[in-house]
Structure 1
């Protein structure tokens, strides 16, 4: 039996038809509309309706993953800040009710963590997933209780940590991949915002590349120290496109975490995610 998954981001919307083994049968990616002249919820409805018609489905299971603070119980976007305009209050369960009565909705990082866990087993009981991208997102999973959303669905919004008045920046403004690119431009890096090239040159001993990475990695490490103190996870997974750097990424971050913790405090095992681009799509339909 086929399910339909949709992943809504600030830049693109991905949609896919998947079978029960989470194999992608069909896939499409479109630019996220401005949500003023063309509404995101209307585009999502159109994509799903097309798949239902094309594959002759009747009330299929639909999984929605979205950026922002998501009320999974009611299928509603609670808060998105500046990420997506005009999105707060959008209710997907109501908007898609004519297509199916089997719908689940998740925050995108929650969905990505579920997608990772659908394909890879981890021994740890408590897992925190940190995604580094345009912004920074978080998700927390306990083997017994599952995902932890918080009282107002705002748990794990770690990008807002570590605000400092002197530079008017939060954790994500210093430590996201976007922040790394800004550092590269600020320091006049020869290859501008080509992040893979930065890592490549740093590994070759390029002085400027190493300095930029070390500065940025210290910002990431400071946030991870806060995660360690608040959640005490057994495993911290780092996701987002930059996680493709794998052990090289961890090599810059991991030693610096101890600089922001009391002596001998201890820190969780650190690993990059193994599920690549479509983890949130897989996760959105992995639990029915």
Structure 2
């Protein structure tokens, strides 16, 4: 039996999975991401944890196909990260360092690209070779898969869908420093912003005036027939749907997978995004399907494992 590890490095925890090369997840666990001192402990901690798992499962090095790693930053095909927002790393030769620490073959990718690969391999995009995944969380992440391989690009920034400009008139800056990015409207924080702007516009009655406004509260109110919540979701759907129509005309996916915390709203979310997509779709993209991601938090470890295979 041959095995591989999938490692998903996040700002708070590192998720890890032990897989067979056929795609069976045998075990999963996580450790704390120690970001202090420039994140110097992260890779040694991972190497130690993987070694302990091999000893626990009595797996020999000869049985290992390698380690795939997802990192929350642009990553070059050489496995080098130039900078990270929340790991403490500046320039980091992730592939080289982890290979030296473990004695195993290592492949590294951007976390959103890797999650997309996971959904293509074992999740909502199973059986598809051309796919776009959008993750709607605190920000908006994206992964583009063409002919079964993630689009990495010249600077490791392929698939950064959250930073497509969708509003030329925006005056507030996105976290990236530019203005009018998709992330400012379609992320969980973006939906809250749209909601607050709508609620301030007039006194129209809404459940959203009663408690704390969150993306979940907006979709819950929509499900109760709240008219104001519907206006907010319609606006969110237009931003995301129109952006996806622009992406589709370039990469022509058979399926667009929507994941991340906001996707927990369920099928109702797809209705508004698909409607807006259809308003703008190029005729050749008319067969593009929208589906919800199915792997949840396991998408990263699954895609990381697929990366090494």
Please give the TM-score of this superposition, normalised by the length of structure 2.
Answer: 0.79
Q: How many Å apart are 1:64 and its aligned residue?
A: 0.8
**Alpha-carbon deviations, 1:210-264, whole Å to 9, x = none?**
23222222222232132123323232111213223332111121112345x3786
Q: Is the contact between residue 35 and residue 87 of structure 1 (CA under 8 Å) also seen in structure 2?
A: no
Per the alignment, residue 95 of structure 1 pairs with: 97
Q: How many Å apart are 1:276 and its aligned residue?
A: 2.4
> Which secondary structure does the structure 1 equivalent of 2:101 belong to?
coil
Unaligned runs of 5+ in 2: 174-178, 200-207
Q: Does 1:257 align with 2:277?
A: yes
Per the alignment, residue 18 of structure 1 pairs with: 19
Match of 1:173 among 174, 184, 191: 184
Q: Is the contact between residue 252 and residue 285 of structure 2 (CA under 8 Å) also seen in structure 1?
A: no
Please give the TM-score of this superposition, normalised by the length of structure 1.
Answer: 0.84
Matched ranges for 1:213-232 at <5 A: 213-232=233-252
Q: How many Å apart are 1:278 and its aligned residue?
A: 0.2
**Alpha-carbon deviations, 1:62-115, whole Å to 9, x = none?**
1111111112x32222343xx325323222222222313221212112221221
Matched ranges for 1:108-127 at <5 A: 108-120=111-123, 125-127=129-131
Q: Is the contact between residue 62 and residue 102 of structure 1 (CA under 8 Å) also seen in structure 2?
A: yes
C-alpha distance 27-166 of structure 1, shift in aligned 2 (>3 A)? same
Q: Distance in 2 between matches of 1:152 and 1:11?
A: 25
Q: Distance in 1 between matches of 2:209 and 2:102?
A: 50
Per the alignment, residue 142 of structure 1 pairs with: 146
Per the alignment, residue 10 of structure 2 pairs with: 9
Q: Is the contact between residue 79 and residue 95 of structure 2 (CA under 8 Å) also seen in structure 1?
A: yes
Larger mean Cα displacement after TM superposition, 36-45 or 278-287 = 36-45
Q: Distance in 2 between matches of 1:216 and 1:11?
A: 28
Per the alignment, residue 88 of structure 2 pairs with: 86
**Alpha-carbon deviations, 1:8-48, whole Å to 9, x = none?**
12333212223344443332234433343653333323332
Unaligned runs of 5+ in 1: none
Q: How many residues align?
A: 283
* CA root-mean-square deviation: 2.8
Q: Distance in 2 between matches of 1:117 and 1:66?
A: 18
Q: Does 1:52 align with 2:63?
A: no
Task: Specify which structure has the higher proportion of helix.
Answer: 2
